[in-house]
C-alpha cells in the first residue's frame, strides 16, 4: 500500500527535491509551503505521515504540530530540525510528534522513519475502523 | 589580549614564581611606610630633642646656680674677714693716743689681745710718714726698715688702705699684709701695718666642702694663686687662666670643654683687695642624674620608634596584601566577564551562521540526492557513473559542511549540565571504540596505562564524551599510520582525576601552542573549524576541570584533562 506523505517546509526547492526522491522510493508525496496551508490540506484528505519542518515563518513547526494534533490526535508527525536542535526535537516529541530527524537528513534514515510511522498510522486506522465498526454493531444491537 | 584587565593581571602576578610583592605595590608600600614613619617619628624625635635640651639646660642652670651661690657667699665671708681685721685694727689704733702706741710693748699687748680675740695676726708695725718702721712686733727683724720706696707705701699714703698679695712669710706659710693710714690729729699721720696668716682665708674655702668636680681658690690680678687650687697647683704658682674683666658682681661663665666636660666658672673681685675668688666646676657629662635622664630618653625613643616601626610595617603589610588580593580578584573577575562576553558573542554569531547555512545545505543535500536518484535509477542516463560520482562528492561535502554547522551549534549551546558518577576509563574506552575501524585501518595502536583505578568523577557524560572525542580525534589526526597513542588515567591529588592522551605525531609549534585553545584557530586548514579545542576547553572549565597541553615538534603532543572527583559548587 502506498504511503501518503505530506511534506511541510517553506523552502520549496527542498520540498520539491525531497518529494521527487521519496516518490522515486515509492511514496505518494504532497508538499505544503507553510503551516496554515498544511492545516488546510490535512482537512481535505488523510495522510499517513506528515514531515514537518521546525523552523518556518508565519507559523512555526511546534505551533503547526499542536494544531494538527488538535484536529486529529492520531496524525503521525515527523519533525525536521536544524542541527544540534535536540532540545527542540525533544520538545516536539513531548508535544506529540512521533520522532525527529536532523536536517540535512540522510534519505534512507528518513525513509525508515516514515515507514515506521506509516505502520503505526495503519494500525491506528485499523483500530479506529474496528472501533467504529463495533460501535455501529452496538448501536444496531448486533 | 591587550586589555587593561590582563595588563593589570600581568603586573599583579608574582614574577619568577616567588611570592614577592610586585613593583607597583612595592612603590606604594615604600611611600606609605615612609610617609607614616616620618609623620610619626619626626614629632617624637623633636619632642625628645626638646626634652633632652631642656634637661641639659636644667642641669646647666643648676650648675650655674651652685657656682654662683658659692662664689657670692664666699666673697661676702672673705670681705667680712678682711674688713673685720681692718676695723679691729682701726679700733685699736683709734682708741689709743699715738703716745700710747709708741712703744713695742704696747704694740705687743695689742697683738696679743688681737690674736686672743680674733686670731690670724702675725705681726704689727707702725710706720711713719717717711716710711720708717718705727715700732714693730712680730717674728721678723723689721724694726727701722724703710718702706718709702715701695709701691704699697705710696698706695697707703694715697688711698688710706692697702691689702697685699700673698707671699711666703713666717715658717714658710702664706701671708698677706693689710695696712692703713691713721691721722694723728693735726700732727700728720702714721701707717699701721699688719701681716695676716692666709690660713684665715683658706679655712673659708675648706669649709665649703667641695666635691671632686669643684675647685675654689683665690687668685690675684697677676694670675698668681693666692690659695692652693685643686686643679691648678700650689700657692704662688702662676696659672694659665684668662683673668676676666673686673666685676664687683658675681659672674658665671659656662662652656663645654674637651673630654665631655661641662665647665662652669664663677668669679668675683673681692673688694679693696687684689684678690679674685674663683670657683671652677668641671662636671663630666656622664654625671649623675643627667646620665640617667639621658639614657631614659634614649630608651624611650628607641622603644617608641621600634613600636611605631613594628605597627606601621605590620599594618602596611596587611593593607597592601589586602589591596593586592582585592585587585587580583577584580582583575580575575574582569577577565572572566570579558571572556564570557566574548564567548557569548561568538556563540550567538556561530548559532546564527549555522542556522543560516543549514537550510541551503538541506536543499543542496536533497537536490544532489535527487540527481543521484535520477541518474542512478534511469536505465539509459548518459554518463551515468560520472553523474552519480559527482552527486556523491556533493553529498560528502554537504556532510562535511553539516559537521561544521553541528560543531558551531555545539559551541554556541550552553547545555544544562547533568551530573552523574562516571568511570572515566570506561568512558574513554567507549570513545576510543568509535575510532576502532580507523585505528585498525591505519594500524594505530592505542594503549591504556592505569596503575590504580581512580574513583568515579561526578560529571556530565555527554559533555565528557565530546571532550575526549575531540582530543582523541586530534590525536588520530596527528599521528601517522602505524602511530601510537598512550592514554593514562591517574589521580594526581585525592580531589582530582587526570586523563592524559599522548601521541607520537608531528607535534605543535610553540607559536601554535599559544593559540591552540582560541576559537577559530586551526592547523587543519580548510578541514578544521577551529572550534574543537575551544569548545573542549569551555566544557572542561564548566565541569570544574582544567585542560593542559604539552608538545614538541616531531616528538608528539600530550593533552591532560584534570577533573574534580567531587561536584563543584
Say which of B362, B370, B410 has its CB closest to residue A104. B362
Question: Crossing angle, helix A12-24 and helix A107-140, to 10 degrees?
Answer: 80
Q: Which of these, B462, B469, B459, B464, lies nearest to B532 by C-alpha position?
A: B469
Contact list, A105 vs chain B (CB under 8 Å):
362, 365
Q: Which of these, B237, B464, B41, B368, lies nearest to A105 by C-alpha position?
A: B368
How far apart CA B272 and CA B222 sit, in angstroms, is 16
Contact state of B402 with A104 under an 8 Å Cβ cutoff? yes
Cβ within 8 Å of A, B 299-358? 354-355, 358
Could you tell me if B413 lies within 8 Å of chain A, comparing CB atoms?
yes
One digit per residue, the tens of pLDDT, for chain B of length 569 reads 344 444 444 444 444 444 566 778 888 888 989 999 899 889 988 988 888 888 778 878 888 898 899 899 999 998 898 888 888 888 888 887 777 777 888 888 888 888 888 888 888 888 888 888 888 888 887 778 888 888 888 888 888 888 888 888 767 888 899 998 888 777 788 888 899 988 888 888 888 888 888 889 998 888 888 888 888 888 888 888 777 777 778 888 888 777 677 788 888 988 888 889 989 888 776 555 566 667 787 888 899 899 999 999 999 989 988 988 888 888 888 877 777 677 677 777 777 787 788 888 888 998 998 888 888 877 788 888 888 888 999 998 888 888 777 766 766 654 445 677 888 888 888 778 767 777 888 888 889 998 888 888 888 777 787 788 888 888 888 888 888 999 999 988 888 999 999 998 888 888 888 777 776 666 665 455 556 787 788 888 888 889 999 888 888 899 999 999 886 54
Could you tell me if B397 lies within 8 Å of chain A, comparing CB atoms?
no
A107 CA: distance to closest CA in chain B (Å): 8
Contact list, A21 vs chain B (CB under 8 Å):
366, 369-370, 373
How far apart CA B124 and CA B93 sit, in angstroms, is 11
Please name each of the domains of chain A with its CATH number. 4-140 (3.40.50.2300)
> What DSSP string describes chain A?
-PPEEEEE-S-HHHHHHHHHHHHHTT-EEEEESSHHHHHHHHHHS--SEEEEES--SSS-HHHHHHHHHHH-TT-EEEEEE-TT-HHHHHHHHHTT-SEEEESSPPHHHHHHHHHHHHHHHHHHHHHHHHHHHHHHHHHHT-
Please name each of the domains of chain B with its CATH number. 17-285 (3.30.450.20), 418-564 (3.30.565.10)
The set of cell numbers assigned to B382 is 548518459
How far apart CA B562 and CA B551 sit, in angstroms, is 17
Locate the chain A residue with the closest alpha carbon to B404.
A83
Query: pLDDT tens digit string along A20-71?
Result: 889 988 899 999 999 999 999 999 999 999 999 988 888 888 999 999 999 9
Contact state of B358 with A82 under an 8 Å Cβ cutoff? yes
Q: What pTM value is reported for the model?
A: 0.45
Contact state of A83 with B374 under an 8 Å Cβ cutoff? no
Contact state of A14 with B369 under an 8 Å Cβ cutoff? no
* Residues facing B229 on adjacent strands: B233
Interface test mutation site (partner B, options A9, A10, A15, A17, max chain B beta carbons within 10 A) = A17
> What DSSP string describes B310-373?
HHHHHHHHHHHHHHHHHHHHHHHHHHHHHHHHHHHHHHHHHHHHHHHHHHHHHHHHHHHHHHHH
Contact state of B406 with A83 under an 8 Å Cβ cutoff? yes
Could you tell me if A57 lies within 8 Å of chain B, comparing CB atoms?
no
ipTM: 0.76
Interface test mutation site (partner A, options B353, B355, B359, max chain A beta carbons within 10 A) = B359
Contact list, A85 vs chain B (CB under 8 Å):
409
Contact list, B347 vs chain A (CB under 8 Å):
none
How far apart CA B482 and CA B443 sit, in angstroms, is 5
Could you tell me if B363 lies within 8 Å of chain A, comparing CB atoms?
yes
Locate the chain A residue with the closest alpha carbon to B369.
A21
Around Cβ A31, how many Cβ atoms within 10 Å? Answer: 19
Q: Where would I find the beta strands (DSSP E) of B434-473?
A: 445-450, 457-459
Q: Which of these, B442, B422, B435, lies nearest to B471 by C-alpha position?
A: B435
Q: What is the DSSP pairing of strand B484-493 with strand B445-450?
A: parallel
3-state SS, residue B147: coil
Around Cβ B412, how many Cβ atoms within 10 Å? Answer: 22
Sign of CA dihedral B3, B9, B11, B16: negative
A121 CA: distance to closest CA in chain B (Å): 26
Could you tell me if B362 lies within 8 Å of chain A, comparing CB atoms?
yes
How far apart CA B329 and CA B243 sit, in angstroms, is 81
The set of cell numbers assigned to B479 is 599521528
Say which of A11, A20, A84 has its CB closest to residue B359. A11
Contact state of A84 with B354 under an 8 Å Cβ cutoff? yes
Query: pLDDT tens digit string along B481-521?
Result: 888 999 999 988 888 999 999 998 888 888 888 777 776 66
Amino acid at each position: 500500500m502506498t504511503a501518503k506523505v505530506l511534506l511541510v517546509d517553506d523552502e520549496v526547492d527542498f520540498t520539491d527535491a525531497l518529494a521527487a526522491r521519496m516518490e522515486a522510493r515509492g511514496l505518494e508525496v504532497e508538499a505544503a509551503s507553510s503551516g496554515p496551508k498544511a492545516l488546510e490540506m490535512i482537512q481535505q484528505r488523510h495522510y499517513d505521515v506528515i514531515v514537518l519542518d521546525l523552523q518556518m515563518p508565519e507559523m512555526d513547526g511546534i505551533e503547526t504540530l499542536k494544531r494538527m494534533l488538535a484536529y486529529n490526535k492520531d496524525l503521525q508527525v515527523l519533525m525536521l530540525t536544524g542541527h544540534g536542535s535536540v532540545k527542540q526535537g525533544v520538545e516536539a516529541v513531548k508535544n506529540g510528534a512521533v520522532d525527529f530527524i536532523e536536517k540535512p537528513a540522510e534519505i534512507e534514515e528518513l525513509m525508515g522513519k516514515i515507514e515506521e510511522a506509516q505502520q503505526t498510522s495503519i494500525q491506528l486506522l485499523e483500530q479506529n475502523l474496528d472501533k467504529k465498526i463495533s460501535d455501529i454493531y452496538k448501536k444496531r444491537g448486533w | 589580549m591587550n586589555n587593561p584587565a590582563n595588563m593589570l593581571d600581568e603586573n599583579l602576578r608574582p614574577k619568577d614564581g616567588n611570592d614577592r610583592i610586585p613593583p607597583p605595590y612595592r612603590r606604594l608600600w615604600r611611600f606609605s611606610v615612609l610617609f607614616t614613619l616620618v609623620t610619626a617619628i619626626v614629632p617624637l624625635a623633636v619632642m625628645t630633642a626638646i626634652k633632652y635640651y631642656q634637661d641639659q639646660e636644667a642641669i646647666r642652670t643648676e650648675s650655674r646656680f651652685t657656682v654662683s651661690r658659692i662664689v657670692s657667699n664666699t666673697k661676702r665671708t672673705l670681705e667680712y674677714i678682711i674688713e673685720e681685721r681692718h676695723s679691729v685694727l682701726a679700733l685699736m689704733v683709734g682708741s689709743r693716743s699715738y703716745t700710747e702706741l709708741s712703744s713695742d710693748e704696747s704694740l705687743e699687748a695689742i697683738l696679743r689681745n688681737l690674736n686672743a680675740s680674733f686670731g690670724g695676726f702675725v705681726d704689727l708695725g707702725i710706720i711713719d710718714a717717711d716710711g720708717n718702721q718705727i715700732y714693730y712686733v712680730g717674728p721678723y727683724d723689721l724694726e727701722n726698715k724703710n718702706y718709702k720706696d715701695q709701691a704699697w707705701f705710696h698706695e697707703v699714703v694715697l688711698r688710706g688702705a692697702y691689702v697685699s698679695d700673698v707671699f711666703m712669710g713666717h715658717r714658710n706659710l702664706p701671708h698677706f699684709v693689710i695696712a692703713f693710714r691713721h691721722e694723728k690729729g693735726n700732727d700728720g699721720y702714721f701707717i699701721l701695718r699688719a701681716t695676716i696668716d692666709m690660713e684665715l682665708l683658706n679655712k673659708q674655702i675648706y669649709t665649703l666642702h667641695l666635691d671632686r668636680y669643684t675647685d675654689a681658690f683665690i687668685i690675684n690680678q697677676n694670675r698668681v694663686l693666692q690659695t692652693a687650687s685643686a686643679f691648678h697647683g700650689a700657692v704662688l704658682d702662676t696659672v694659665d687662666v684668662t683673668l676676666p674683666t673686673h666685676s664687683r658682681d658675681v659672674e658665671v661663665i659656662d662652656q663645654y670643654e674637651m673630654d665631655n666636660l661641662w665647665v662652669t666658672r664663677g668669679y668675683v673681685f673681692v673688694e679693696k683687695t687684689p684678690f679674685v675668688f674663683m670657683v671652677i666646676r668641671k662636671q663630666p657629662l656622664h654625671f649623675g642624674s643627667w646620665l640617667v635622664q639621658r639614657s631614659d630618653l634614649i630608651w624611650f625613643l628607641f622603644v617608641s620608634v621600634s613600636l611605631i616601626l613594628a605597627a606601621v610595617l605590620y599594618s602596611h603589610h596587611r593593607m597592601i596584601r589586602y589591596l593586592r588580593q582585592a585587585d587580583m580578584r577584580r582583575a580575575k573577575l574582569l577577565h572572566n566577564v570579558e571572556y564570557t562576553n566574548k564567548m557569548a558573542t561568538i556563540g550567538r554569531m556561530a548559532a546564527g551562521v549555522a542556522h543560516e547555512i543549514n537550510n541551503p545545505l538541506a536543499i543542496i543535500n536533497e537536490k544532489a540526492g535527487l540527481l543521484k536518484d535520477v541518474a542512478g535509477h534511469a536505465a539509459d542516463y548518459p554518463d551515468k557513473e560520472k553523474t552519480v560520482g559527482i552527486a556523491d562528492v556533493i553529498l560528502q561535502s554537504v556532510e562535511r559542511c553539516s559537521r561544521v554547522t553541528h560543531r558551531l551549534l555545539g559551541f554556541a549551546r550552553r547545555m544544562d549540565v547533568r551530573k552523574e558518577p562516571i568511570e572515566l576509563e570506561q568512558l574513554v574506552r567507549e570513545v576510543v571504540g568509535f575510532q576502532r575501524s580507523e585505528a585498525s585501518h591505519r594500524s594505530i595502536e592505542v594503549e591504556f596505562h592505569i596503575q590504580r583505578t581512580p574513583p568515579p568523577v561526578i560529571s556530565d557524560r555527554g559533555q565528557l564524551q565530546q571532550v575526549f572525542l575531540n582530543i582523541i580525534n586530534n590525536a588520530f589526526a596527528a599521528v601517522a599510520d602505524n602511530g601510537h597513542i598512550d592514554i593514562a588515567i591517574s589521580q594526581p591529588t585525592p580531589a582530582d582525576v587526570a586523563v592524559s592522551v599522548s601521541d607520537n605525531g608531528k607535534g605543535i609549534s610553540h607559536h601554535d601552542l599559544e593559540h591552540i585553545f582560541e576559537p577559530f584557530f586551526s592547523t587543519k586548514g580548510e578541514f578544521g573549524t577551529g572550534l574543537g579545542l575551544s569548545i573542549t576547553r569551555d566544557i572542561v572549565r564548566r565541569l570544574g576541570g582544567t585542560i593542559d597541553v604539552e608538545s614538541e615538534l616531531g616528538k608528539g603532543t600530550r593533552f591532560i584533562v584534570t577533573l574534580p572527583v567531587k561536584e563543584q559548587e
